[in-house]
Amino acid sequence: MNRPAPRPAAERQPLVTFALGDDLFAVDVQLVERVLRYVTPTPVPNLPEWATGVIEHQGRVVPVIDLRARFELAEAPVGAERRLVVFGGAHGWTAAAVDAVHTVTAVDPARISPPPAVFRGLAREYLVGVLRDGDRLVMVLDVEHLLSSTERMVLARAVSGEAELAAAAGVEDGAR
């Protein structure tokens, strides 16, 4: 049986896959700054309910989005596999709480189908496409569209306020 030769690795797109409940998601590995063990974010007042607070990572204050809440999925207890995926993009860094991170896998971009208008309750704007992985579907997220520009401004104001408070606390601690 003649099979076509595999595509060169340079033509394959590496994706980080992760779970939210029974659903699988993926993002372009180049948009993932880091995967961290889950820590409870520091609460910040006046955030949308899907934004759980902020974490400090590499000297930055990074807002945390609970993707379950963002995508209106049922809440789940924090398990041992829960992680924070720190995304870096044109709009800065954002961390997303996910149930588990699975693998980094390289796929042929031709295997990623365009997203339907709505897929499992998610609007098309959140998705780059849908990938079939065996008998499961993987939703490939568009990280740049997880937040609207208005939502980014709300988070930026909250983060800058939290960073100012942290800096002031550092000055106070150093003055003692």
90 is written with which tokens?
A: 């044109």
What does the alpha-carbon distance between residue 137 and residue 20 come to, in Å, rounded to a whole number? 13
Question: Three-state SS for 154?
Answer: helix
Domain ranges across the chain: 9-170
Per DSSP, 31 falls in state: G
Per-residue pLDDT of the chain in tens (176 residues, 90 and over written 9): 444 455 454 588 999 999 998 889 999 999 999 999 999 999 888 888 889 999 999 988 899 999 998 888 888 888 899 999 999 877 788 999 999 999 999 999 999 998 877 766 677 778 889 998 888 889 999 888 887 778 778 777 776 765 555 555 554 444 44
CA distance 137 to 131: 6
Span 9-170: which CATH code? 2.40.50.180
Considering only the C-alpha atoms of the chain, give the largest distance between any 2 of them, rounded to a whole number of Å. 76
pLDDT number for residue 100: 96
How high is the pLDDT of residue 172?
A: 46
